[in-house]
């Protein structure tokens, strides 16, 4: 952590109270917006839960295997019906290895591949200490502090108190998010296309790489253009920030202007990264225990969503060897859990909104009464 400048100034307590009113009002508006969103999502979750619960209660699911652990067999007589399919691990085939062409890597056995991107950035915050110096004034001591670390998004340092000494380069070589997903097949003739595998319920893992699996990376744009290298630490690929000579000279000129050119602090010796560094890790889902599905069977053996009572598309894809009832109970249970969380969030948001609005109104009323009270004191 680095210590920035300290400012000492006098301000009216009325200004402080007016600022407090503004902060409370802003918090009330934010909480109100959040409350509306959570209430909307709460109703959505409830309607989806009740729709699935009613639909599953009337659904006729046809078994396609002799039992759990046995590979399901394609039956032409079930075309157009909702079927329960078990694909054991030994019978599972992937359409392709998920790949990120930008990094030249692939992950055998993975179903999904996502990038996690982090940026080394400065963050600014300040601490204020106040001391009352008169009936309507107070002394304020404000000290700025700067910490540097990894964040999930770039931070604009232009409006920092010391922007030159704590400059955040806005480089974004790669975006965070999904990169690839593969469909699956079984040796018995069933298949599921990639879009339906994207939401498979399973554990998300961070992928690690060995030197012999990074041959493609050495000829990738990430390596050649952005100079990423594999650190071996928790799966991170790191790209160090290299400012140009002109940029370095300009930064030094601005530091001189703001008086921070020679501002060296002990914390600078213990920096874990440089502002502008970018690191990327890969994560996704793998299948270790086969797949279970409840879906509509098509003529070519492909599985696709079926319709609920309210006309919504539903397809259950879960890792493991599960019965149809277990899968449906798990699906409705997950949605009900989401419903409870949204309900709690809605109640909390409404409470915060009412509390902040009440505080803002009370503070504003007190401010409006203040001049009258002062005049009454003077009259006496």
pLDDT computed for residue 11 by the predictor:
82
Give the global pTM.
0.84
Q: Residue 230 and residue 215: Cα distance in Å, rounded?
A: 12
Q: Residue 285 and residue 230: Cα distance in Å, rounded?
A: 21
pLDDT computed for residue 379 by the predictor:
36
pLDDT computed for residue 371 by the predictor:
56
pLDDT computed for residue 378 by the predictor:
38
- Please write the tens of the pLDDT for every residue from 253-284: 999 898 888 888 877 777 889 999 999 999 99
Tokens 């409404």 belong to residue: 350
Strand pairing class (278-285; 62-63): unpaired
pLDDT computed for residue 374 by the predictor:
44
Angle, helices 13-58 vs 324-379, to 10°: value is: 160
pLDDT computed for residue 375 by the predictor:
42
pLDDT computed for residue 370 by the predictor:
64
pLDDT computed for residue 270 by the predictor:
78
pLDDT computed for residue 16 by the predictor:
76
Q: What residue ranges of the chain have pLDDT lower than 50?
A: 372-380
323, 84 contact by CB (below 8 A) = yes
**Two structure tokens written together for 312:** 């919504």
């Amino acid at each position: 952590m680095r210590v920035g400048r300290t400012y000492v100034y006098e301000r009216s307590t009325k200004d402080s109270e007016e600022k407090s009113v503004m902060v409370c009002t802003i918090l009330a508006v934010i909480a109100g917006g959040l409350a509306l969103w959570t209430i909307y999502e709460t109703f959505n979750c409830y309607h989806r839960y009740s729709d699935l619960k009613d639909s599953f209660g009337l659904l006729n699911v046809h078994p396609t295997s002799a039992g759990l652990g046995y590979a399901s067999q394609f039956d032409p007589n079930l075309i157009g019906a909702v079927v329960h399919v078990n694909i054991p691990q030994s019978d599972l085939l992937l359409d392709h290895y998920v790949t990120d062409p930008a990094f030249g890597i692939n992950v055998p056995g993975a179903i999904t591949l996502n990038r996690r991107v982090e940026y080394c950035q400065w963050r600014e915050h300040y601490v204020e200490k106040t001391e009352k110096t008169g009936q309507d004034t107070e002394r304020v001591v404000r000290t700025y502090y700067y910490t540097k670390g990894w964040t999930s998004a770039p931070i604009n340092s232009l409006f920092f108190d010391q922007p030159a000494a704590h400059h955040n380069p806005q480089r974004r070589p790669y975006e965070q998010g999904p990169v690839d997903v593969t469909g699956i097949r079984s040796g018995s003739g069933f298949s599921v296309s990639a879009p339906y595998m994207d939401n498979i319920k399973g554990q998300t893992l961070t992928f690690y790489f060995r030197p012999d699996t990074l041959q493609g990376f050495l000829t990738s744009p990430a390596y050649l253009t952005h100079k990423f290298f594999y650190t071996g630490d928790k799966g991170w690929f790191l790209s160090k920030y290299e400012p140009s000579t002109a940029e370095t000279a300009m930064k030094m000129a601005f530091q001189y202007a703001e008086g921070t050119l020679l501002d060296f602090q002990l914390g600078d010796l213990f920096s874990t990264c440089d502002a502008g560094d970018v690191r990327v890790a890969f994560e996704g889902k793998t299948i270790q225990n086969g797949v279970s599905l409840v879906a509509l069977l098509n003529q070519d053996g492909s599985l696709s969503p079926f319709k609920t009572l309210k006309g919504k598309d539903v397809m259950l894809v879960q890792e493991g060897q599960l019965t149809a009832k277990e899968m449906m109970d798990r699906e409705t249970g997950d949605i009900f859990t989401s419903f409870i969380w949204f309900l709690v969030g809605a109640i909390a948001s409404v409470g915060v909104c009412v509390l902040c609005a009440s505080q803002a109104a009370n503070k504003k009323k007190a401010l409006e009464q203040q001049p009258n009270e002062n005049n009454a004191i003077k009259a006496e």
